[in-house]
Amino acid sequence: MQKPSLPKGTRDFGPIQMARRNFILDTIKDTFQLFGYQQIETPAMENLSTLTGKYGDEGDQLLFKILNSGDFLKDVTFADLEKGSGGVLTKVAEKGLRYDLTVPFARYVVMNRNELVFPFKRYQIQPVWRADRPQKGRYREFYQCDADVVGTDSLVCEAEIVLMIRRVFVRLGLADYGIKINNRKILTGIAEAIGEAGKEGPLCVAIDKLDKIGWEKVQEELIQRGFGLQSIQKLSPLVSLESDLKGKVEFLKTFLKDSPTGLKGVEELEEVFGILEKMGENLDHVDFDIMLARGLSYYTGAIFEVKVYGVSIGSVSGGGRYDNLTGVFGLPGVSGVGFSFGVDRLYDVLEELQLFPSDSLNGTRLLLAYFDSKGFEYALSILNHFRKAGIKVEIYPDQAKIKKQFEFATKKEIPFVGICGDDEIATGTISIKNLITGIQENLSLEAAVSKLS
């Protein structure tokens, strides 16, 4: 007899976890829909030709590949075998599991470009798979939760991303957080302004580590990457700049005065703030972070990252604008902007802050309990009375001691037990016991329905 187990880095979600995950996902979905985003789903399996080369060499290694069906070795030659796994791979696996939702979305847009209505706003909530080494908070299967709009470069989209994030956070009960925002063009401009034009790539990679390793180590890395000491010195006032949003904007207008690209970035950011103002919105939680770069190199405009303060893993959302999402599939010039919520991280944050509603299980509200077969039949006869009113109700299916039935209700977190004893049968009533307060009252069926509705 085998003892079953789960593959490394994967998880089951039981009823309580599912109810809590659904609380998060429903909040996000509801918000996406309010802003006109429409849901799509793509298959778990994609052709490896779609996935490979999109996530860098490391990403290619982390793709889960699906073994071809049937005689998978049939096309493998001795020459392939001599090259080892790398030589054999393309002969034995044509498909892989999706690694994120962005590449499948790009493929979807390209394949459906003649039917889609642009600007196309889509959201997508599905699991992705990565053969990462599992560790705390990092899984091999996890959900992503993306919203993107493609086919427009309007900065209204950026402003609405801020609004969506704030709406989700209000509803989740999260108050202490910052929506960090920056613009890739500003980083490009900074590279120009410090005399390292065209090197915003390595600049971004190094700056991205500022939070983790500090300015000193970032300088060392910049030197290693060939930045001159003078350039780094020029960068320094930016790193240490402490100012409010308007102060930062003013500082950059001077700092970037010789970089048209940089100034364009500042202008775009100002326009986003201006749109929010025209919408009658304030800038609460919005934090212009000049050094925010994020790892992803395909951003070309706005860059977002949301951090919850006072918790162990605070980065729960991020995104940005990209100008060429679909170019790799033969459809150039499609500008888009998108962002993503990390559901697992939001889950951990809400748990750490004890913000899940106590009734988030949202399960059965009433258990009908009984002493004998007469009570059982009475319980059967009134079940539908409650269900018709939309009340989630169960009957304990086996004849058992009343104590066991109460234990069942307690363990399943059912808040009310409806007792069907001889008195209740005689009077056509039901005694409802609140398992939290311990209060029990005898009610007509109608009164019981209103009480529980």
Interface with its own copies in residues 117-136 (CB under 8 A): 117, 119, 121-122, 127, 129, 131
Least Å distance, CB 242 to its own copies, is 32
Report, in Å, the least distance between residue 376 CB and its own copies: 9
Shortest spacing between CB 237 and its own copies, in angstroms: 35
Cβ atoms 65, 48 nearer than 8 A: yes
Residue 161 interacting with its own copies (CB under 8 A) = no
Site for its own copies (CB under 8 A): how many residues?
Answer: 103
Is 188 annotated to bind ligand?
no
Q: Is 101 annotated to bind ligand? A: yes
Please check if 294 is assigned to a binding site: yes
Stretch that binds its own copies, among 172-180, 199-207, 227-235, 385-393 (CB under 8 A): 385-393
Nearest to residue 418, comparing CAs of 438, 399, 434, 397?
Answer: 434
Concatenate the DSSP letters of all residues of 299-334 into one string. Answer: --SEEEEEEETTSSS-EEEEEEEES-TTGGGT----
Stretch that binds its own copies, among 227-235, 308-316, 383-391, 417-425 (CB under 8 A): 383-391
Site string for its own copies, 100-119 (x = CB under 8 A): -------xx-xxx--x-x-x
Q: Figure out which of the listed residues 60, 94, 221, 323 binds its own copies, where binding follows CB under 8 A.
A: 94
Which one of the spans 215-223, 241-249, 277-285, 307-315 is the region binding its own copies (CB under 8 A)?
277-285
DSSP secondary-structure letter at 63? P
Distance, CA of 120 to CA of 336 (rounded, Å): 9
Helix (H, G, I), strand (E, B) or coil at 192: helix
Which of 202, 327 has the CB closer to its own copies?
327
- Give φ, ψ of 19 to 5 degrees: -60, -40
Taking residues 30 to 69 in sequence order and writing x for each that binds its own copies by CB under 8 A, - otherwise, the string is ---xxxx-xxxxxxxxxx-xx----------xx-xxxx-x
Among residues 145, 131, 117, 124, which one has the least CA distance to residue 51? Answer: 131
The answer to whether 113 is annotated as binding is no
**H or E, element range at 80:** helix 78-82
Does 130 show up as a binding residue in the annotation? yes
- Report residue 266 as tokens: 């500042």
* Exposed/middle/buried for residue 363 (C-beta within 10 Å: 0-12, 13-18, 19+): middle
CA distance 289 to 302: 11
| DSSP state letter for 153 | -
Select 236 or 381, whichever has its Cβ closest to its own copies. Answer: 381
Report the site for its own copies in 358-377 (rule: CB under 8 A): 362-364, 377
In this structure, are residues 50 and 107 in contact, taking their beta carbons and an 8 Å threshold? Answer: yes
Residue 97 binds to its own copies (criterion: CB under 8 A): yes
Binding residues for L-histidine: 100-102, 130, 144, 148, 294, 298-299
Binding residues: 100-102, 130, 144, 148, 294, 298-299
